Amino acid sequence: DRLEIIVNITRNKIRKYYLQRVEKGEVKIQAGMIYINLIHSLEKIGDHVFNITEAITGVK
């Protein structure tokens, strides 16, 4: 659970940083859609890695 909390905190920081850049006009919104999808995909990968680790170690 600790690892998932760290991943979620990191995700939220990345999103916040990106939205601040959009507000300042530093990045285009279209690129943001790709960026947000990438963040989501990376989070899903992290979830899968966590599940695989639990399955291998038997620790939950």
What is the mean predicted confidence (pLDDT) over 49-59?
Answer: 89
Q: Which residue has the higher pLDDT, 33 or 55?
A: 55
Nearest in space to 8 (alpha carbons), one of 53, 37, 46? 46
DSSP 1-60: -HHHHHHHHHHHHHHHHHHHHHHTTSS-HHHHHHHHHHHHHHHHHHHHHHHHHHHHH---
At residue 47, the pLDDT reads 86
- Does the pLDDT at position 22 exceed 90? no
